[in-house]
Amino acid sequence: MTSIRALASSACAVAVASLCAFVAPAKAQTYPTRSITMIVPFAAGGPTDVVARIVTAHMAQTLGQSIIIENVVGAGGTTATTRAARAANDGYTLITGHMGTHAASVPLYPKLAYHPEKDFEPIALLAGTPILILARKDFPPKDLKEFVTYVKANAEKVNAAHAGVGSVSHVSCELLHSILDIKPVGVPFNGTGPAMNALVAGQVDYMCDQIVNAVPQINAGTIKAYAIATPERNPSLPNVPTTAEAGLPKFQAQAWNAMFAPKGTSAAIVATLNAAASKALDDETVKKRLLELGSVIPTPAERTPEALATLVKNEIAKWTPVLKPAT
Amino acid sequence: MDIFANLAHGFAVALSPINLLMCLIGALVGTLVGVLPGIGTIATVAMLLPITFGLPPVGALIMLAGIYYGAQYGGSTTSILVNIPGEATSVVTAIDGHQMAKQGRAGPALAIAAIGSFFAGCVATVLIAILGAPLTKLALAFGPAEYFSLMVLGLIFAVVLAKGSVLKAIAMIVFGLLLSMVGSDIETGASRMAFNIPELADGLGFATVAMGVFGFAEIIRNLDAGAEMNRDLVQQKITGLMPTRKDLKDSTPAILRGTVLGSILGILPGGGAVIASFAAYTLEKKLAKDPKRFGRGAIEGVAAPESANNAAAQTSFIPLLTLGIPPNAVMALMVGAMTIHGIVPGPQVMQKQPDLVWGMIASMWIGNLMLIIINLPLVGIWVRLLRVPYRLMFPSIVIFCAIGIYSVNNAPVDVILAGVFGLVGYWLIKHDFEPAPLLLGMVLGPLMEENLRRALLISRGDWSVFLTRPLSAVLLAIAASLLLLTVLPALRSKRDEVFTESEN
Amino acid sequence: MADTMGHSATTTRNTRLAIGFCLLAIAPQIFELIWSIGTIFGWGTGRGPVTVVTSHVTALLAGAPSAVFGSFGGGTKKMSSEVLLALIYSYPLFVVAILTLFMTVRSAQDYVGGVVLMALALFALWAGSDLQGMRGFSFGAGTAPRMFGGLLVALSAGIALTGLLTDGPAMAHYSWRGPLFVMAAIVFFALAIRPLGLVVTAFASFMIAATGSEETRWLEAAIVGACLTLGCAILFPYVLGLPMPMFPRFLIQ
């Protein structure tokens, strides 16, 4: 019975939301007076999309307007980001970007039609996703130290998988390789699914990937994890050491999702949105869902627009030397 | 036995009223989406994903799965009625299906597609339940080298299914391959032949090209002076709605073979389902006593690929259910739906989420039953639709296609591109080129190139991997012999033709 | 097909074909010229028409020939994309056009089909000419496009050859009304959907497309078009949940 009620209530919610979208323009008041479009530069159901949906669902309640998610896929998310950069800066078109679209894209795409710093107003950091160093289950090295020596000694032989140029797995592995000062063969796959398939099947040796996809595979023993590239261990994988503990403190990488508005959006609107986003991140259900994904929830200090601006700046500085020679 | 206990549990879950309702909604929406030209499964599942967030996870996945295989049923409808394949897997169905419709046999074509799909769906569901785990090994045994060889085989199928000149068919495949190169390079990310058009950065969409060369081109051609005569003829010719006994007799072996091929190929992540439908068609054409009937309205040419693609649609769940790895874009979306509910599928999903896995398997069978119940009576309505005067039908199709293409990416440029491909398709028809091999080349092109490059990267440039890996070698051997079987007779007849001509 | 009209008919036919191929050979240049006219009015950010004309004319008349002769001298200067276009695309087609003058075309359908397909392949080769080739054992971005482009050139040459060697159908008849209005409807839809919304766009496109057939009865078409628009307006945004503008932008604000 409860499930029927749940269905009924959700159906009502959908109906109300669509009604809101329709009726809202009638009453002109303070921002927001109509529904907001949130561009997600990746496919529905992907990590960025999931984070955006969880957070915006709560923000919509705070703002009293529906937030419509529009997934625009293409060119590592840069197609959608270009569109968001050119959208009207009235606060009704926003984008949930990530490490790739708002930092790594700068060195990766020389002809990028936008600049993450110059064309966007940062709103808030939404979530961080730790990155792991993973390997096929019968890959000889037992821990990270052995891995480093093995990969350095066999740099000509090993194969690193990644989910396509510009993907988190690609750029983070490039960082690892630049720290180890090696250039192994990178085998590109079309997305994390096929890359993980190849790793499970033992067709490639190792890859760096976000925690979400990897946890069940690690727990089932189909692949193994050497380390997590964050300062602290993650509750979903308590047995996996951090890179600092395992002896490679320089390798620190985290995928992050953040909300941006086109440049020139008024400070008042940015403040309203930031407050709503921050409130969402404090909500227990939102927190629980994000934690289930293995995400790290930013502290209040990290959530301010200024902190996000600094993060973007630092990230661009971090990735540019790593990715420049690669292209 | 364990399996029966599991299945019984699954049916208990799937038969709960709420899940039955979800299954029905999924099947209905899937059929609707499949019937509307342009809107593909991926786009629909992506669009409806948010709605499922408020539902319990089992119900949500049952609904999404329903949309997925419902669209496979519906996709054949537009292929047969108006020659517009909505999915890569129904391209082959359009070849003979639309010819049947032109001969006034749209009813039997639609009915046999539904019957074949239902049978295949049932078999595949049982297969998932019994052999899911062992079959997973097949998915893992396929590395880049095997995929490349499979894609080569797939392209040979495209040559075989051509009804005209072999040379032209090969040229069309290569043209398709070339079109598939547009976009970003997978290894370097370099933009290829995209002319700085942002909408081209990720390549030409399948829907865009398919709507163009099939949908718009067909409309433009039908508007040619003198074509209305043929159309009126079609409307008078409409005969029975249901297949005759002879039709059933002809299609039974085709359905059986299609189911087997589809079930096996569906397990392979990536292009499995597409290749399955082409392979099934090719097999029927090669086995037929009179291969000339194919492309001119042979009912086996509808029965086999439709069974194959539906079987493949079902078995493609295997890697997801046993490994937790999504084998295609739709499955990736389902993983997204699961993660939003806090379930991250992995190798242990069967043990950890028995409700979900077995409920979904049971719901597939129920869904297939619902689909055949929905679809068989609909045949009458669809066929009646053919009686609508063409002068009203064609602008409607144009609008539906345009909205469909626009909705995929919300990109107006896609609509214009489809129009351009409509003109290309019209030109192709005028020069007697077939569009089906072109589309297959386009779908398989990226898979072939990527896997070739992956295989060579892993082998460090050693081309012999394709022959030293046994599975890959077998696939290539089949491809080579199939090509010989097709090209040799064609060459001989061509040469005879040349000689007889020059004697005159 | 027996040619009862005698020798002169074949010649005129071939001259027309040759002129057609010559036009095809400079089609991309003409297309860019037409496109560049827009920049006069401030649309787009491409080059102006004058620059386009001069750069292509120099490339066709001076740059490319000197590159051809220069290559014998071992010159490996980096060529501009205009010169490459002339070399890879236009020149081979000029050669085909000249050859056509001296050929007896036995199946125009195959011959023209082969040549146009070859033009497409050559164009693709040019479009991919800036891409990197093989790097050691690893494929570059340009390897596969070049492979398939080259293969398509060969295959289309084969098709064209069939058109010369075997008898076959002549050119099919093209009509203009259907393609024109269907394309117009599609282009109108693409341009209008964002600013004008679904309702206006769908109805207007329906009527434009309907103009493409002589059989259209206007009242009937208008009624069906209105019903269809209404159906779409309910089906797509509400049943399928597609985010789509419904009404013209200026009416909403």
pLDDT digits (tens, 9 = 90+) for A208-245: 888 877 888 888 888 898 888 888 888 888 888 888 88
B350 at interface of A, judged by CB pairs closer than 8 A:
no
CB B340 within 8 A of CB B290: no
Among partner residues B143, B331, B344, which is closest to A201 by beta-carbon distance?
B143
B201 at interface of A, judged by CB pairs closer than 8 A:
yes
Chain A / chain C CB contacts < 8 angstroms: 6
Q: Which residue of A has its CA nearest to C238?
A: A18
A4 at interface of B, judged by CB pairs closer than 8 A:
yes
Residue B225, pLDDT score: 65
Residue A292's SS3 state is helix
C238 at interface of A, judged by CB pairs closer than 8 A:
yes
Selection from B173, B257, B179, B239 nearest residue B212 by Cα? B179
What tokens were used for B450? 């990527």
Please judge whether B416 and C140 are an interchain contact, meaning their C-beta atoms are less than 8 angstroms apart: no
Q: Which residue of B has its CA nearest to A15?
A: B51
Residue B237, pLDDT score: 63
Query: Nearest CA to CA, how far is A61 from chain B (Å)?
Result: 15
The one-letter amino acid code at C63 reads G
Please judge whether A18 and C238 are an interchain contact, meaning their C-beta atoms are less than 8 angstroms apart: yes
Write down how long chain A is: 327
CA–CA separation, C109 and B436 (whole Å): 19
Please judge whether C252 and A68 are an interchain contact, meaning their C-beta atoms are less than 8 angstroms apart: no
Residue B227, pLDDT score: 60
Residue C168, pLDDT score: 77
Query: Nearest CA to CA, how far is C205 from chain A (Å)?
Result: 25
Listed in sequence order, the residues at least 6 apart from B343 whose beta carbon sits closer than 8 Å to its beta carbon are B57, B349, B353, B356
Predicted TM-score (pTM) of the model is 0.82
Question: Can you give the residue ranges of every domain in chain C?
Answer: 2-165, 177-252
Selection from C241, C240, C239, C237 nearest residue C197 by Cα? C237
The residues pairing with A120 across neighbouring beta strands, listed in sequence order, are: A262
Among partner residues B53, B184, B269, which is closest to A197 by beta-carbon distance?
B269
Query: In b/e form, how buried is each residue of B462-494, taking b as 16+ CB within 10 angstroms?
Result: eeebbeebeebbebbeebeebbeebbeebeeeb
Q: Band of the pLDDT at A8, cuts 50, 70, 90?
A: very low
Write out residues 374-413 of B within 8 Å (CB-CB) of C: 389-392, 394-396, 398-400, 402-403, 406-407, 410, 412-413
Query: Nearest CA to CA, how far is A10 from chain B (Å)?
Result: 5
CB B52 within 8 A of CB B18: no
Cβ-count burial of C136 within 10 angstroms (0-12 exposed, 13-18 middle, 19+ buried)?
A: exposed
Residue B503, pLDDT score: 39
Selection from B400, B444, B408 nearest residue B153 by Cα? B444
What tokens were used for C200? 């206006």
CA–CA separation, C111 and C117 (whole Å): 10
Residue C7, pLDDT score: 44
CA–CA separation, C6 and C195 (whole Å): 58
Q: Which residue of B has its CA nearest to C223?
A: B392
CB B30 within 8 A of CB B69: yes
Interface of A with C (CB under 8 A): 18, 25, 37, 68, 70, 185
Residue B420, pLDDT score: 93
Among partner residues A43, A109, A203, which is closest to B458 by beta-carbon distance?
A203
CB B422 within 8 A of CB B215: yes
CA–CA separation, B345 and B347 (whole Å): 7
Count Cα neighbours of A233 within 13 Å in the Cβ-side half-sphere: 11
Residue B271, pLDDT score: 67
Query: Nearest CA to CA, how far is B291 from chain A (Å)?
Result: 38
> Contact partners of C by the rule of 3+ C-beta pairs under 8 A?
A, B
Please judge whether C243 and A37 are an interchain contact, meaning their C-beta atoms are less than 8 angstroms apart: yes
In chain C, the N- to C-terminal Cα span, in Å, equals 65
């480093």: which residue's tokens?
A148
CA–CA separation, B265 and B6 (whole Å): 25
Listed in sequence order, the residues at least 6 apart from A318 whose beta carbon sits closer than 8 Å to its beta carbon are A103, A175
Identify the residue among C88, C120, C139 best suited for mutation to test binding to B, counting B beta carbons within 10 A and taking the highest: C139
Please judge whether C178 and B220 are an interchain contact, meaning their C-beta atoms are less than 8 angstroms apart: yes
Cβ-count burial of B315 within 10 angstroms (0-12 exposed, 13-18 middle, 19+ buried)?
A: buried
pLDDT tens sequence for chain C (253 residues): 344 444 444 555 678 888 888 888 888 888 888 888 777 776 666 677 788 888 888 877 777 777 666 655 444 556 677 788 888 888 888 888 888 888 888 888 888 889 999 999 999 888 888 787 777 777 778 888 888 999 999 999 999 888 888 887 877 778 888 889 999 999 999 998 888 888 889 999 999 998 888 777 888 888 889 998 888 888 777 776 666 777 776 665 5
Query: Nearest CA to CA, how far is C189 from chain A (Å)?
Result: 20
Residue A26, pLDDT score: 39
CA–CA separation, B119 and B216 (whole Å): 33
Gyration radius of chain A over CA positions: 21
User: C101-106: long-range contacts (C-beta < 8 A, 24 or more apart)?
Assistant: C101/C14, C101/C15, C101/C18, C103/C14, C103/C164, C104/C10, C104/C164, C105/C10, C105/C13, C105/C14, C105/C17, C105/C163, C105/C164, C106/C1, C106/C163, C106/C164, C106/C165, C106/C166, C106/C167, C106/C168
Stretches in chain B below the pLDDT threshold 70: 1, 38, 40, 50, 225-239, 269-271, 490-504
> Contact partners of B by the rule of 3+ C-beta pairs under 8 A?
A, C
Chain A / chain B CB contacts < 8 angstroms: 174
Distances, alpha carbon C76 to alpha carbons B399, C69, C71, C82, in Å:
52, 12, 7, 16
Please judge whether B51 and A14 are an interchain contact, meaning their C-beta atoms are less than 8 angstroms apart: yes
Residue B423, pLDDT score: 92
Listed in sequence order, the residues at least 6 apart from A168 whose beta carbon sits closer than 8 Å to its beta carbon are A98, A99, A100, A129, A131, A209, A210, A255
Please judge whether B196 and A111 are an interchain contact, meaning their C-beta atoms are less than 8 angstroms apart: yes
The residues pairing with A96 across neighbouring beta strands, listed in sequence order, are: A259
Q: Where are the alpha helices (DSSP H) in B410-469?
A: 412-430, 435-458, 465-468
Residue C253, pLDDT score: 55
The per-residue DSSP string of A188-248 comes to E-SSHHHHHHHHHTTSS-EEEEEHHHHHHHHHHTSEEEEEESSSS-BTTBTTSPBHHHHT-
Write out residues 222-241 of B within 8 Å (CB-CB) of C: 222-225, 228
Selection from A161, A133, A138 nearest residue A148 by Cα? A133
A17 at interface of B, judged by CB pairs closer than 8 A:
no
Please judge whether B347 and A57 are an interchain contact, meaning their C-beta atoms are less than 8 angstroms apart: no
- ipTM for the predicted complex comes to 0.87
Q: Are strands A159-162 and A185-188 parallel, antiparallel or unpaired?
A: parallel
CA–CA separation, B228 and B13 (whole Å): 53
CA–CA separation, B16 and B121 (whole Å): 21
